[in-house]
Every structure is written in structure tokens, then in C-alpha cells.
Amino acid sequence: MSDIQIVEQREVLGKEFRMYGDVDSPLFKADDVATWIEHSNVSVMLNSVDESEKQLITIGTISNVYTAWFLTEDGLYEVLMQSRKPIAKEFKKQVKEILRTIRKHGIYATDNVIAQVLENPDFGIKLLSQLKEEREKNKQLSTQVEQDKPKVVFADSVATSKTSILIGDLAKLIKQNGYDIGQNRLFEWLRENRYLIKSGSSRNMPTQKAMEMVLFEVKESTVNNPDGSIRVTKTTKVTGKGQIYFVNLFKNQEQLPA
């Protein structure tokens, strides 16, 4: 799991420009780049650069973990150079200028802005105050990311796990995360809220809604009866995605269905 952050964000040539990582080794989200140059196929664009010029990074929050492709600085320049769109050449010039200025001064400012700072000290003070405020916000965001890391690691490991658990084990997991509930009460809650079927031969089997959400899977096993016949049993188990879903649901008690 990566805590990759946006280090520069502004409008460039009418497009939303975002730079991630750090100034020395910047990264650019492939989806963003495709939008800048109006490329219709991100996969084709990514295939046009070397493996060393792109990175697949896992990012997100405890409730939304996903992977995204990023281009390195060299990868970005390669894509822009290959593009036949008129905006690509100008975009490359703008990106190089932004990086050059930040690497030299620590912030990006056009010649016009620098001239205004020199001519109007009040403008410079206002600009620096805005910069200080923005950096403070980024610092607070970084602190929050550090605090959330254990939760995100849990989500990442569970989401990619191939091991499903019993509902009784889910009750224990929910209890470990601060909501006191036992196996029987959890079964009842799942039935009442239409995650499990309430009655009949399919009692405690997942509902269609729950299966479409990939919250459960049904494990079948065979049992040899004393008379020699074979009986098939079905057990409802909670998927990795389901574990994250229900733990989050019970941690945020105000979001629980009635």
C-alpha cells in the first residue's frame, strides 16, 4: 500500500494538472495524462513506454483500495513526444518549466508572479501565506495517512486474501474493532437486513443482493451418512471484501441499517 501524495496541482492549458510523489522523482497518473492529450486508450498509451517508465501502484483508503498506473518523468515526456495532438508539445514545455522552477525555487511561480512579488511586498506576503496554509493542510493530511496506515494495511491484506471466514469469526473480527456483537446476534442482524435468507431450506444462505456485492461465498462439502448415502452440506463464508464491508459498517454505527 502506498501513501503517494499530490505535490503540485494547478490548471495547465485548461487541463487539471497533478503531480505525485516528490519533485526529484515525480509521477503522473496515466489516466490524467490520457485526458491531457485526449488519448482514447490508456492501455495502448502505456504499452508505448518502457517498463522502467511506468509504475503500477496500490493506493486508496480502508474502504476503497485500488491500483493505478503512473508514468515517470521520462515516461511522460515519451508519451507527449509520441502524441500527434498539438497540445502535447506545449504541455511538455509547461511541465518542464514547472519542474525547473520548483527544483530551483522550491515553489512554482511564473515570471509575471515573481515580478509582482518584487514590486508589491503585500502581494508576496499574501502569496507566502497561501503557500504556508497549503503546506499545513498537506502536513495534516500526511499525519492522517500515518494514523490510517494500520487500518489500510488491514484492508489491503484482507481484500487480496483468498481466505474466507465463517460468520462466527466475522463476529469476533467486528468485536475486535470496537462493536460488541456475538455470532447469534450477527446472524439475526444479517437476516433482518437481507444479507442472508430468513427462512426455508435456504435459511442463512446469502441473498442475491449479497452475492452480487461479493460479500459471501458458499462452500459445499460432502458427508458420508451411516447408511452409506452421501449428503451435501452448504456453509456461508464471508469473503475478504465482505470482511472489510461489515467491519466498516459496524465501526460507523450511525450508518447501520435499522
List pLDDT tens digits, range 10-65: 888 999 999 998 888 999 999 999 999 999 999 999 999 999 999 988 776 555 56
- Radius of gyration in angstroms for the set of CA atoms belonging to the chain, rounded to a whole number: 26
Q: Does pLDDT of 104 surpass 90?
A: no
Buried b (16+ CB within 10 A) or exposed e, 46-73: beebeeebbbebebbebeebeebbbbbb
* C-alpha pair distances (Å), 156 with each of 1, 109, 237, 241: 7, 39, 19, 10
**Burial (0-12, 13-18, 19+ Cβ within 10 Å), 103:** exposed
Give dist(CA 72, CA 124) in Å, integer.
33
| Residue spans per domain, the chain | 6-155, 165-255
Q: What is the pTM of this model?
A: 0.46
Q: Tell me the per-residue pLDDT of 211-251, one tens digit each, with 9 for 90 and over.
A: 999 999 999 888 887 888 888 889 999 998 898 889 888 87
- Is the confidence at residue 70, as pLDDT, over 80? yes
**Residue 160 pLDDT more than 50?**
no
DSSP state, 81?
A: H
**Predicted local confidence at residue 251, as pLDDT:** 79
Neighbours of 39 (CB within 10 A): 19
Contact indicator for 37, 83 with CB cutoff of 8 Å: yes
Write down the pLDDT at residue 145.
47
